[in-house]
């Protein structure tokens, strides 16, 4: 069993079952203590609102990310998407286990997607979400064809919608 920690979500690989389970990354005890003890004066001044936001906000964002990923897959069944098979209201998502590409593959992926279109809106969305597309680990391949593992963000979903069938021809060596 192997666990990968993303910024928002963590992924447990279960090779025996051939699946990957995504769930919100839980804050470590160290992180909770650091957040709660950081600058007690500020905590007291702003009452505990800001601190609770720091702990609760990433967790709820991750649940929404999981949910948006699931509903986008369910709604579109777009073959460029690595499938999301199941979601327990965003608390956990299940995808088939994949082998993420290397971080370095991201530059090539970004350039390949950029070359698929000359449309201003799509290129703007690509540049707004550049970190996401540059991050090769957000992608895998299926029989040499590029597929995306992480498609929870609205900008990513709009790029995928804009590029449509053209995405199915992107090959990664
Ligand atoms: N189906 C899968 N099979 C195997 N590994 C996966 C799968 N889906 C995601 N991963 C790995 O787990 C990492 C985190 O997943 P994902 O990118 O979906 O979460 P995230 O919270 O959006 O992370 P980040 O913000 O760091 O991109 C991915 O970068 C990838 O390496
Ligand atoms: Mg990711």
- Which whole number is the average pLDDT over 122-132? 91
- The model's pLDDT over 99-126, given as tens digits with 9 standing for 90+, comes to 999 999 989 999 999 999 999 999 999 9
Residue with tokens 């449509």: 164
Query: What does the pLDDT read at residue 171?
Result: 78
pLDDT in tens, 14-73: 999 999 999 998 887 888 888 787 766 666 666 666 666 677 778 899 999 999 999 999
Q: What residues does each domain of the chain span? A: 2-96, 105-169
The residue length of the chain stands at: 173
Query: For residue 79, what are its two tokens?
Result: 């073959």
What is the 8-class DSSP label of residue 100?
Answer: P
Dist. CA 7 → ligand 2 center (Å): 7
- Residues 67/90, Cβ–Cβ less than 8 Å: yes
Which residues line ligand 1 at a C-beta cut-off of 6 Å?
A: 4, 6-9, 11, 13, 20, 22, 82, 95, 97-98, 100, 135, 137-138, 149-150
């Amino acid at each position: 069993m192997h666990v990968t920690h993303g910024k928002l979500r963590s992924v447990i690989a279960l090779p025996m079952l051939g699946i990957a389970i995504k769930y919100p990354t839980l804050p470590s005890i160290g992180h909770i203590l650091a957040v709660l003890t950081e600058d007690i004066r500020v905590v007291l001044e702003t009452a505990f609102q800001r601190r609770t936001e720091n702990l609760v906000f990433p967790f709820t964002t991750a649940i929404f990310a999981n949910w948006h990923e699931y509903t986008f897959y369910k709604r579109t069944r777009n073959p460029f998407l690595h499938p999301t098979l199941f979601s327990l209201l965003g608390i956990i998502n299940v995808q088939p286990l994949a082998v993420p590409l290397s971080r370095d593959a991201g530059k090539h992926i970004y350039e390949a997607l950029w070359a698929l279109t000359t449309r201003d809106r799509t290129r703007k969305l690509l540049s707004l979400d550049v970190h996401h597309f540059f991050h090769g680990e957000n992608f895998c391949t299926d029989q040499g064809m590029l597929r995306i593992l992480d498609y929870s963000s609205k900008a990513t979903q709009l790029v995928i919608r804009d590029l449509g069938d053209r995405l199915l021809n992107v090959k990664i060596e």
